[in-house]
């Protein structure tokens, strides 16, 4: 049984075959779909050799969510699981980090990489459930220093509609960005991705930059600094240079897509590896640390 249940602000995650309200303003950060695949659904903890599981075949959807509100993973789980139980899912497994099997358990799971999903090996909750022996779901909940992270992996019979979000009922990225900037003065552009070892953005558009562009268009008197960060691999000088170039690349894309924004509104800085969000001792931590942040710059009186 879940250890606690608290009332939280809920936002809908919806699908024709699955309806969920996601707590603490969790916003979808990624989704991948496999038309026909097998999924090993854990039914017990790591036994020293393997994780006992049942294998289901069908359409598999992996969806990740993030929130700037930090909550204990078991509290988030307590807001999600009763909804699944009400829809006919039977709890197959619920466990906490070390009880699950720590590192060994987590690395049997097909977890999406950072920045989509981040797992603190000493602080996560796992849940899995089955419905009619044809539908399976598992949920992994953890957090980094600045965000709560959730991955929901769902398998259902082929031909069943994929789980989809109802965009009109979610807090959009733009709302989260503005709320965080107003509350903390900073926001991590977590969806940005660069070619390895370079300052070249590997996509033509990013949701966070669209939100930032809209914010700066509305707040034409507000200045910001884009601050680039790296992991600790390589020399101090190389990391300072790379972090500054990544911030400049973000600025260039933003001004190109939003020509109405004044160039004087956006400054750039690079501080290399001096402000990590996670440990550089793990691949997951290094991935989190390679980022660009928005920082509000006080306006002159």
Domain with residue 260: its CATH number is: 3.30.1330.60
Nearest in space to 268 (alpha carbons), one of 211, 229, 213: 229
Instruction: Clarify whether residues 19 and 159 are in a common domain.
Output: yes
Residues in the chain: 301
Q: In the structure, what pLDDT confidence band is assigned to residue 261 with cuts at 50, 70 and 90?
A: very high
Instruction: Clarify whether residues 22 and 151 are in a common domain.
Output: yes
Give the chain's domain count.
2
pLDDT at 291: 87
Give the end of a domain, one of 142, 166, 190: 166
Instruction: Clarify whether residues 180 and 287 are in a common domain.
Output: yes
Give the end of a domain, one of 125, 148, 166: 166
| 271 CB burial (10 A radius; 0-12, 13-18, 19+) | middle
Instruction: Clarify whether residues 102 and 123 are in a common domain.
Output: yes
Q: Where are the alpha helices (DSSP H) in the chain?
A: 73-86, 97-100, 102-106, 173-184, 207-218, 236-257, 283-289
pTM: 0.57
Nearest in space to 188 (alpha carbons), one of 109, 277, 94, 103: 277
Instruction: Clarify whether residues 159 and 177 are in a common domain.
Output: no
Instruction: Clarify whether residues 184 and 276 are in a common domain.
Output: yes
Say yes or no to pLDDT of 173 above 70. no
Say yes or no to pLDDT of 12 above 70. no
Say yes or no to pLDDT of 219 above 70. yes
- Residue 3 in any domain: the answer is no
Q: In the structure, what pLDDT confidence band is assigned to residue 182 with cuts at 50, 70 and 90?
A: confident
- Residue 203 in any domain: the answer is yes
Instruction: Clarify whether residues 96 and 177 are in a common domain.
Output: no
Q: In the structure, what pLDDT confidence band is assigned to residue 134 with cuts at 50, 70 and 90?
A: confident
Say yes or no to pLDDT of 247 above 90. yes
Instruction: Clarify whether residues 161 and 185 are in a common domain.
Output: no
Say yes or no to pLDDT of 138 above 60. yes
- Pair 290, 230: CB distance under 8 Å: yes
- Residue 5 in any domain: the answer is no
Instruction: Clarify whether residues 199 and 252 are in a common domain.
Output: yes
The pair of three-digit structure tokens given for residue 245, joined into one six-digit string: 């170039």
Question: Which residue range forms the structural domain that includes residue 232?
Answer: 173-297
Instruction: Clarify whether residues 213 and 263 are in a common domain.
Output: yes
Instruction: Clarify whether residues 118 and 188 are in a common domain.
Output: no
Give the end of a domain, one of 166, 181, 211: 166
């Amino acid at each position: 049984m879940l250890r606690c249940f608290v009332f939280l602000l809920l936002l809908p995650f919806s699908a024709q075959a699955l309806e969920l309200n996601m707590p603490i303003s969790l916003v979808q950060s990624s989704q991948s779909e496999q038309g026909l695949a097998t999924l090993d659904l854990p039914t017990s903890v790591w036994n020293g050799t393997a994780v006992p599981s049942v294998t289901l075949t069908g359409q598999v959807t992996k969806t990740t969510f993030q929130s700037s509100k930090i909550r204990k993973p078991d509290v988030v789980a307590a807001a999600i699981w009763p909804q699944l139980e009400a829809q006919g899912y039977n709890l197959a497994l619920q466990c906490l980090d070390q009880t699950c099997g720590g590192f060994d358990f987590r690395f049997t799971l097909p977890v999406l990489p950072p920045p989509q999903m981040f797992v603190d090996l000493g602080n996560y909750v796992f849940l899995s459930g089955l419905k009619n022996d044809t539908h399976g779901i598992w949920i992994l909940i953890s957090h980094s220093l600045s965000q709560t992270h959730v991955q929901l992996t769902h398998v259902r019979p082929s031909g069943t509609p994929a789980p989809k979000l109802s965009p009109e009922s979610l807090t959009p990225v733009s709302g989260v960005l503005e709320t965080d900037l107003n509350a903390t003065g900073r926001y991590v552009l977590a969806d940005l991705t660069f070619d390895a070892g370079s300052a070249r953005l590997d996509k033509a558009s990013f949701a966070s930059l669209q939100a930032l562009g809209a914010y700066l268009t509305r707040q034409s008197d507000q200045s910001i600094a884009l601050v680039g960060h790296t992991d600790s691999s390589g020399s101090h000088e190389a990391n300072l240079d790379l972090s500054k170039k990544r911030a400049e690349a973000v600025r260039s894309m933003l001004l190109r897509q939003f020509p109405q924004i004044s160039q004087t509104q956006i400054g750039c800085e690079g501080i290399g590896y001096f402000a990590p969000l996670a440990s550089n001792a793990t691949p997951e931590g290094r991935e989190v640390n390679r980022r660009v942040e928005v920082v509000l710059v006080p306006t002159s009186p």
